[in-house]
Amino acid sequence: MFNQNNIYSSAFTKIKSINYPLLGLIIILFFVGLAALLSISNGEFNSWPLKHSQRFILGLIIFFLVIFFDLRLIFGYAYVIFFLSIISLAVIPFIGIESNGATRWINIAGISLQPSEFVKYTLILALAKYFHSINNDSNFIKTLIIPLIITVVPVFLVITQPDLGTALIILLGGVSLFWISGLNYKYFIVGVFSILCSLPVLWQYLKDYQKDRVLTFFNPERDPLGNGYHIMQSKIALGSGGIFGKGYMEGTQSHLNFLPEMQTDFIFTMLGEEFGFIGTLLILLIYAALIMISIRLALKSRSLFSKYLSLGVCNVFFIYVFVNIGMVTGLLPVVGVPLPFISYGGSSMLAVMFGFGLLMNCYINRNIIIEKTNY
């Protein structure tokens, strides 16, 4: 069937077998982000645009590094990688950097990183390995409780930072993998039902500002100068953009600072104001294409691990896009999630590139068969 030489292909053949349409779309999105940041900085390249470019290049390096690793090595160290990322989350309360009332960052060799961004992918990695290895006859605890614990631990750690948005993405990413790997749909029904029932209890544990955000989401006019302000201004910016937009660097909402956090979470709004519906539609289509390609590539892998990992990465990516755009258009509460490849933010950029590196690795090594291990 397959030649061993194909499996142990050289670095050159690896680069040759990368799916370039996918990489091309990533690069296009990066340039969209670069253009947006250039507009926000009023044409000044040496601020956000420069750093954004540097991070993207660093991201590309990570992307290729991940590709060059042997997939089986990644499989073998999946739990270790996951464990290390959990450690980095767990130490945050002790050595983390506080900013805006939340402690999310740690400083590694002078670079501030947000471990929760990486955990999204390491969790997928760990779950993929776990689900790859379980058998049909596995008992309840082994097959369900352990992966649930694996999922809940990082979610819990991130909630306490506090960072509800990222915790939600980690949770949804993890849950999506339960689904992909064939968890009986009855459990989903039970799960959704029990979450709905426990919402009033969970509400008690939310911080005041988180409660405010949720309340504001349901009624933005509740506090138009406080929590509702961001979402009102975001909608005004998008809406006033119209079909064709106000023109590049001509957005009044963004350039007069009515838009909050426009270089990070609300960057899509700024693009919508300047490029209109045409612009936002185009960006959404690029994301859709990227996701479609990812799914196609994922399903080409022979091993379950590769499929799980690739689909998981793809799902996390999708959730990112959905939550961010849903948030800035007022469909979801403001939870603070960046728009991948476009938003200014180092950890998010590196983590997403790490994720797509894993996906591409799986694709390149799609014919590798990975044995089940004793989890």
Partner 1 sequence: MKKSGNFIFQKYDTENLINRRAALVTIAKAGIFSALIGRLAYLQIAKNSNYKKLSDKNRITHRFLEPERGIIFDLQGRPIAINKQKYEVIIIKEETRDVKRSLVNLKSILPKANIDIEKILKEVNSRKKFIPIGIVDDLTWQEFSKINVNIHKLEGVYPQIGFKRYYTQGESHSHLIGYVSTISKSEEESNPLSKLSTAKAGKIGVEKAKDAILRGKLGNKNIEVNASGREIRELDRVNSVQGNYVQLTIDSELQKFCYERLKGLSGSVSVINVKNGEFYALASSPSYDPNIFSKSISNETWENLLSNKYKPLINKSISNQYPPGSTIKPFVALAALESGVSHRETFFCNGKHQIEDTSLDSGYKTFHCWKKEGHGNVDMTEAIKVSCDVYFYQIARRIGINKIAEVCKRYGLGEKVFKSLYEEKSGVVPNKQWKLENLGTRWMVGETLSAGIGQGYFLTTAAQLSLALAQLINDGNRLNPKLIYDNDVPTVYDERIIADPKYLKIIKNALDAATNAPGGTSYRSRIIGEYKMAGKTGTSQVRAISIKEREEGLIKNKDLPWEKRDHGLFIGYGPTTDPKYAVSVIVEHGGSGSGSAAPIASDIFKYLFDKKLSLKRNEIFNV
Report the interface residues with partner 1, using CB under 8 A: 131, 134-136, 138, 140, 143-144, 176, 179-184, 187, 225-226, 229, 233, 235-243, 252-253, 256-259, 272, 276-277, 280-281, 284, 287-288, 291-292, 295, 298-299, 304, 307, 311, 315, 318, 322, 325-326, 329-331
Q: Least distance from C-beta 69 to partner 1, angstroms?
A: 24
The helix or strand, by DSSP H or E, that contains position 102, with its residue range, turns out to be strand 102-108
The structure tokens 């947000």 sit at 114
Q: Which is nearer to partner 1, 195 or 285 (CB)?
A: 285
Distance CA 216, CA 203 (A): 15
Minimum CB distance to partner 1, residue 68 (Å):
27
- Closest CB to partner 1 among residues 88, 294: 294
Q: Which is nearer to partner 1, 17 or 252 (CB)?
A: 252
Give the nearer residue to partner 1 in terms of CB position, either 11 or 243: 243
Nearer to partner 1, 95 or 243 (CB): 243
Question: How far is the C-alpha of 270 from the C-alpha of 282, rounded, in Å?
Answer: 14
Q: How far is the CB of 80 from partner 1 (least distance, A)?
A: 24
Shortest Å distance, C-beta 238 to partner 1? 5
CB atoms within 10 A of CB 341: 29
Query: Min. distance of Cβ 364 from partner 1 in angstroms?
Result: 19
CB of 365 to partner 1, least distance (A): 18
Distance CA 202, CA 346 (A): 31
> Is-contact 168 335, C-beta < 8 A?
yes
CB-nearer residue toward partner 1: 233 or 361: 233
Task: Tell me which DSSP letter residue 343 carries.
Answer: S
Q: Is the dihedral of CA 299, 322, 112, 151 positive or negative?
A: negative
- CA 274, distance to chain mean position in Å, is 25
Give the residue with the Cβ less far from partner 1, 210 or 233.
Answer: 233
In angstroms, the CA 123 to CA 86 distance is: 9
Closest distance to partner 1 from the beta carbon of 152 (Å): 18
| CA torsion through residues 298, 349, 110, 153, sign | negative
| Helical axes 115-133 vs 146-159, angle rounded to 10° | 170
Residue 160 or 240: the one with the smaller Cβ distance to partner 1 is 240
Nearest residue to 357 via CA among 15, 106, 4: 15
| Residue 126 or 157 having the CB closest to partner 1 | 126
- For residue 168, the minimal CB distance to partner 1 (Å) is 15
156 three-state secondary structure: helix
Q: d(Cα 345, Cα 320) in Å, to the nearest integer?
A: 14
Going by DSSP bridges, is the β-strand pair 97-99/111-113 parallel, antiparallel, or unpaired? unpaired
Q: What is the C-alpha to C-alpha distance for residues 288 and 308, in angstroms, rounded to an integer?
A: 20
Nearest approach, Cβ of residue 66 and partner 1 (Å):
22
